[in-house]
Amino acid sequence: MVARDAAIARLTVIGARAVDRLLALAEDVASPSVARTAAFRVLEGIAELRTLAPALEILRAPLGRRRDRTPGGPDDEVAVAAIGVARGFLQSGRHVEALDALAATALDRRRSESVRVAALRALEALDTATLRPIREALLTDGSPRLRAFAQGGSVDTSESTTPVGSWLDGTEHLSIPDDPDEVRHEIERRGNDVSLPLLHHALEEIREREARASARTRRGWRAARTAIHVALAHRGSRVGLYDLRELLEAADGPVAAPLFTAVGLIGDASCLEPLAGLYARDTSASSSEGWRRQVHDAFHAIVAREHITARHALAKKLKRRWPSLWPALWLS
C-alpha cells in the first residue's frame, strides 16, 4: 500500500510524460483492477484532455462487460477512480460529455451504491438547475442515501455506510485521536468522502496538535497534516495553500512524497522559492536523489500551470539566488 501510494505520488507530479503508459494500463481490461484504479487516480491529478475518453468508456460500459458485478468489487473501484477523472472536466470545454456520463452513472440502478454516490459527489457542486432533473429522478430510488440527496440534502450527510465512530463524522468539534498514525490512516481512507470545510477544520486542529507535540510525535502529526493536503489537492481545493506553503518553508530535510504531490497539483508561484531552496540543499547522499527529483517535478508542474517563463521576475530572482543550480532545476 505504501509503495503503491508513493508510485502514484511520483507519477502525478511527473505529469504529461507519464500519460501514455498510464492510459495503456487504465484501458487494459486484462490488468488487475487495483493497477487500473491506481492509473486512473494518477490521471485524475494530471487532467490532460486525452484522459477523459477512457474514463467515460468505463462509465458507459454495458453491464455484461463488467468482469465483477459484486458491490464493492474490483470493477467498482475502477469505476470510482474513473469518476474522479471525469469530475475534473465538469468546468472544461468537454463538460457536456462528463456531465452526461456522470448523471447516467448516478441514475443507473444496476450500479452499486458506492459508484452512484461517487458520481453524485462529483455532481453536487453544480448549479441547482442542472441538478434538479437528477434529484427528481432519484425521488423513488431504492437507496436511502440517494433519496435524501433527491430531497435536497447532501449525499455526504445522508445515511452512510461508513463505520460508526470515525472522528471524521464530527461537525463543529472533532474528537481527533491521540495517535497521529491512526489520524493519518483515517484521512487517507476518507479524505475523498468528507466535505471540504470539514477537511479544512481538521487541518487547523491537527496543525495545533503538531505545534504542541513532543519531538517524538511531531513527525507523525506532520504526516497527518500532509495527508489532508493530498486529499484537498486531489479535489482541486486551495483552501489550505497557505499551510502547504508553510510546510515547505519549514522542511528541514527530505520530506515525504505525498507533500510534493499536493504541491505539484495545487501549488502556486509562491511555492517555487521554497521548492528551489529544498532542491539546493546538500545532495551528497545518493539516497536523496529520489526526493530531489520529486522537488524538481513539483517545481515544473507549477511553472507549467502558472505559465512562468524565464523572463518572469520570479524566475530571474531564483536564478540570481542559486546561479550554479539553476540550469539543473530550470532546464532538466
Query: For domain 1-152, which architecture applies?
Result: Alpha Horseshoe (1.25)
Give the residue among 4, 79, 16 at the shortest CA–CA distance from 48. 16
**What local confidence, expressed as pLDDT, does residue 158 receive?**
43
Length of the chain: 332
Separation of alpha carbons 288 and 78, rounded Å: 34
Q: For residue 112, give the amino acid letter.
A: S
Return the domain boundaries, the chain.
1-152
**Dist CA 16 CA 22 (whole Å):** 10
Q: Within 13 Å, how many C-alpha atoms sit on residue 214's CB side?
A: 4
Helix (H, G, I), strand (E, B) or coil at 322: coil
pLDDT computed for residue 309 by the predictor: 92
Query: What 3-state class would DSSP assign to 275?
Result: helix
**Which residues of the chain carry a pLDDT beneath 50?**
1-15, 64-74, 157-164, 284-287
Spatial neighbors of 1 by CB under 8 A, at least 6 apart, are none
pLDDT at 164: 42
Could you tell me if residue 31 is left (phi over 0), alpha (psi between -120 and 50 degrees) or otherwise beta? Answer: beta
Buried b (16+ CB within 10 A) or exposed e, 245-281: bebbeebeebbbbbbbbbbbbbbebbbbbbbbbbbbe
Q: How many degrees, rounded to 5, is the angle at CA 201 between CA 199 and CA 204? A: 110
Model pTM score:
0.54
- Strand, helix or coil for residue 69: coil
pLDDT score of 285: 46
Alpha-carbon gap, residue 47 to 65, rounded angstroms: 26
Per-residue model confidence (pLDDT) at position 253: 59
pLDDT of residue 207: 93
